[in-house]
Amino acid sequence: MAIRLQQMHPALVHLPVALLPLAVGADFLGRATSNRTLLSFGQKAICVAAIGALGAVASGLIAGEEVNVEGESREMLITHRNLNLVATLAATAMAIWRASHRRPSTLYLGAGAAGIGIVAYTAYLGGKLVYDTGVGVEPAHGVYRADAPSLQAGQVRAFVKTAATDLVHGVQHMAQEVRKGQVVPTLVAAYRKRHATVQLDKPAMPEPPNAASTAYPS
């Protein structure tokens, strides 16, 4: 079975998506009940989730160089990528902290809850990219190049080399876009659209009547 470059990301992303809420949930219940088994599971699970998230981010940067995106779908991809990086950094920091603490703190659980929310939203964007716009789907013309090497016998070296090149380019493009202020363009566009709608729905303010002129005797 051959795996294409853009197919690595959906193959790897499920591990952190599943383990992050499991780790935080186990720690929450373990702290509430003083259950050592749950606390031990949460401590180990967040470490695996962080490792999986790093793999998902790397494969996502590679996939971003192998798909066709423009307009709204490009904005969704940028938002999806950048927020996943934030969630990965948070999960990594949580794993490092949790490795040396037997019990989670309130701040730790709050960060975990925020991370789960971010991951849920980015998963939603990922689904829209594939199922609504066909990003990464070759019959929908969502693949940048059809002749990219696959992970199969005879192409392993070319696959690894191309993946490394895509990863470097993905990091460079992300840095360039962030410098231009393109951090979460989908959220910014949604806010602007909603704000414009609210402004249009506001009733027009009546013009104040002209002040009556006062005649002064000469």
pLDDT tens digit sequence for 41-65: 999 999 999 999 999 999 999 999 9
Domain encompassing residue 71: 3-195
Q: How far apart are CA 87 and CA 214, in angstroms?
A: 68
| Residue 126: both structure tokens together | 């990922």
The answer to whether residue 205 sits within a structural domain is no
The answer to whether residue 211 sits within a structural domain is no
pLDDT tens digit sequence for 160-211: 999 999 999 999 999 999 999 999 999 999 999 888 877 666 666 666 666 5
The answer to whether residue 71 sits within a structural domain is yes
Q: How many domains does the chain have?
A: 1
The answer to whether residue 82 sits within a structural domain is yes
Choose among 31, 188, 175: nearest CA to 112.
31
CA 145-148-150 angle, to 5 degrees, is: 140
Burial class (CB in 10 A: 0-12, 13-18, 19+), 87: buried
- Gap between the terminal Cα atoms of the chain: 102
- Section 128-139 average pLDDT: 92
Query: Which of 88 and 141 is assigned the larger pLDDT?
Result: 88
